[in-house]
């Protein structure tokens, strides 16, 4: 078993391995999101109380343009807050599990009871490799990583698709993980080029 702050490797038997990757914890981002969510909650409560308790009824016809704007703002504000909340929870508690056995490679993103699982038959996996993601300041790629997005520094081709995994793993750690996978590949039908 190999351990790091970002990943863990568990051998389950001959030709079987389980990898766990953890999102990089950027404490500034985590603290910023917590503070932002406090402001978000204040705005949410303020607009809801204004809509429902100041003689403006959402269920009836909206009486003026300002209340229509407030309803649209509330919808967008709620969606934004939910996205930030899920991203925060993912950064703190989320993980990615990769399970390789004799038949398939399974990638699942785990966040509490939610699991997003994808399965790949080993015979169709080609070109397992390391490809470090570029951090483009203008595109803010590093900040757009959530439980729903596909990213990672380890990749392979599956049919006509490039599959990414290995959350925020450093190049040196990616090499260790890749060598572990290559080591078990002689016991499975995983094609590494």
Q: How many domains does the chain have?
A: 2
Residue 141 to residues 91, 125, 133, 151: CA-CA distances in angstroms? 15, 26, 9, 10
- Does one domain contain both 7 and 39? no
One domain, residues 63 and 106: no
User: In this predicted model, which residue has the larger pLDDT, 152 or 49?
Assistant: 49
- Does residue 193 lie within any of the structural domains? no
Tens digits of per-residue pLDDT, 1-12? 455 677 888 887
> pLDDT-based confidence at 28, cuts 50/70/90?
very high
116: CATH: 2.30.29
In a domain, 51, yes or no: yes
Tell me the CA distances in angstroms from 113 to 1, 99, 128, one per residue in order. Answer: 25, 18, 29
Domain holding 170, by residue range, is 2-23+94-185
Residue 30 confidence (pLDDT): 93
Which domain-ending residue is among 92, 110, 140?
A: 92
Alpha-carbon distance of 110 to 97, in angstroms, equals: 7
In a domain, 190, yes or no: no
Last-in-domain residue among 39, 67, 92: 92
The model's pLDDT over 123-162, given as tens digits with 9 standing for 90+, comes to 888 888 888 766 554 444 444 455 555 667 888 889 889 8
């Amino acid at each position: 078993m190999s351990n790091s702050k970002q990943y863990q490797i568990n051998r389950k038997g001959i030709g079987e391995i389980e990898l766990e990757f953890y999102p990089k914890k950027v404490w500034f981002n985590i603290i910023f999101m917590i503070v932002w969510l406090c402001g978000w909650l204040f705005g949410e409560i303020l607009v809801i109380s204004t809509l429902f308790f100041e003689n403006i009824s959402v269920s009836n016809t909206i009486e003026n343009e300002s209340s229509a704007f407030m309803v649209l703002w509330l919808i967008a504000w709620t969606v934004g807050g939910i996205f930030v909340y899920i991203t925060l929870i993912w950064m703190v508690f989320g993980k990615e599990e990769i399970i390789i056995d004799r038949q398939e490679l399974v990638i699942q993103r785990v966040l509490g009871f939610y699991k997003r699982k994808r399965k790949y038959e080993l015979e169709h996996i080609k070109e397992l490799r390391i490809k470090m993601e570029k951090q483009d300041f203008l595109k803010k790629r590093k900040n757009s990583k959530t439980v729903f997005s596909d990213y990672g520094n380890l990749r392979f081709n599956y049919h006509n698709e490039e599959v990414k995994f290995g959350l925020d793993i450093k190049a040196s750690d990616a090499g260790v993980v890749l060598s572990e996978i290559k080591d078990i590949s002689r016991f499975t039908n995983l094609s590494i080029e």
